[in-house]
Amino acid sequence: MTHHDAALLAALADATEDLIVFDLDGIEARHESLLEELPGVDVRFAMKACPLDEVISCLALKGAGVDAASPDEIAQAIAAGVPPERIHYGNPVKSDRNIADAHRLGVRDYATDSTEDVAAIALHAPGVRVFCRLATDGYGALWGLSDKFGCSAGDAVRVLRAARDAGLIPSGLSVHVGSQQMTTEAWQRAFDDLTDVLEVLAGHGIALDHVNLGGGLPALGYLDRHGEPFAPSLDKMFAAMREGMERCAQVPGHRLRFVVEPGRHLVADHGAVRAHVARLSTRTGADGEPRRWLYLSAGKFNGLYEMDDVRYPLVFPTRPSGPLVPVTVAGPTCDSADTQAPGHVLVPEGLASGDPVWVLSSGAYAISYQSRGFNGIKPLPHICVRGEGG
């Protein structure tokens, strides 16, 4: 529990009903730590990871901007105090109307990965700055983000030349090494690609001013299927990033600043769900063996959407005495996908319906992915706390 804040745990202990808790001091501290590791880098919070005004505002006051994926996110960020010049429209998938709406709201930085998108930006947002996203293979990440986004090195040169010819400002290159990236090698390969493309662009007389390193920095509190910490080596990742940025900066013909767009890295470990036990039951499986199931009041459709890809640490604050038993954890709905870690989670055998459970490191996407009431189960409310508990 070393990644979880005292104020967060205190709020969970005080809660008598199910809810999601976010500790703003913890989020701010993670942001400050990131800036210490990557000095001079501009932070654009990937707001899709936690689209709460309180979170966006507290980071904006620390100088962060946002990576937005739609005009509605852009409008929310502005209302929460983010200046338009600190908003990056990072989604390469945009309609003509999306582009025009973002331009009307004052956004001047746009991600792209195709000449068709460049033509639309030139028509509906003339004169803006474009960042061409390079494709990555997603190696080493829990969510690879490959195929749908990004273009080849050769396409990137064509895209930025087309942007220049269309009267846009070819401002930068961007990458995304995949969400919850666990390796340094992915960063090293991304910088190899970036430096290669920077050299080719300089030969075409295109001078860039930014490299956007996207997201991918991991949360620290997730568990593997055996209940052990994933333990990504942040020190090695940051060292690889600093070395890669230095390599990019040494490519002649460009004067580069760097941007990062963390999402879960900032919020996952500083948010948690207070849920309760619906039932601990035992049923015979298809193999004839007894299987225990722990049904919780929160699951895939109300806060824990990523439960089939990561294991969140579970804490039972009123833990009954007795042995631990292996269970499959499931949410409260009638959807069979609402389960995680079949037979691999150890919980107290004496758990009873109504017992509280804290689901830690669940702050990323807990708000974003909630349904509007699947099976009549309402989205969880949220609170934000500070170190003094308020």
- pLDDT 10s per residue in the chain (390 long)? 456 678 999 999 999 999 999 999 999 999 999 999 999 999 999 999 999 999 999 999 999 999 999 999 999 999 999 999 999 999 999 999 999 999 999 999 999 999 999 999 999 999 999 999 999 988 888 888 878 899 999 999 999 999 999 999 999 999 999 999 999 999 999 999 999 999 999 999 999 999 999 999 999 999 877 788 876 789 999 999 999 999 999 999 999 999 999 999 999 999 999 999 999 999 998 889 899 999 999 999 999 999 888 889 999 999 888 899 999 999 999 999 999 878 789 999 999 999 999 999 999 999 999 998 899 999 999 999 998 644
Residue 213 identity (one-letter amino acid): L
Q: Would the CA dihedral through 198, 116, 76, 271 be positive or negative?
A: negative
Q: Which position has the token pair 């967060």?
A: 8
**Short-list 2, 1, 9, CA closest to 387:** 9
Give CA–CA dist 387/390, Å, rounded. 7
Name residue 273's beta-bridge partners. 20, 359
pTM of the model: 0.95
Provide the pLDDT for residue 1.
Answer: 43
Q: What are the structural domains, with CATH classification, of the chain? A: 51-262 (3.20.20.10), 269-385 (2.40.37.10)
CA-wise closest residue to 378 among 333, 313, 312, 315: 333
91-95-101-104 Cα dihedral, nearest 10 degrees: 80
CA 1 to CA 4: how far, in whole Å? Answer: 6
The separation between the first and the last C-alpha atoms of the chain, rounded to the nearest angstrom, is 21
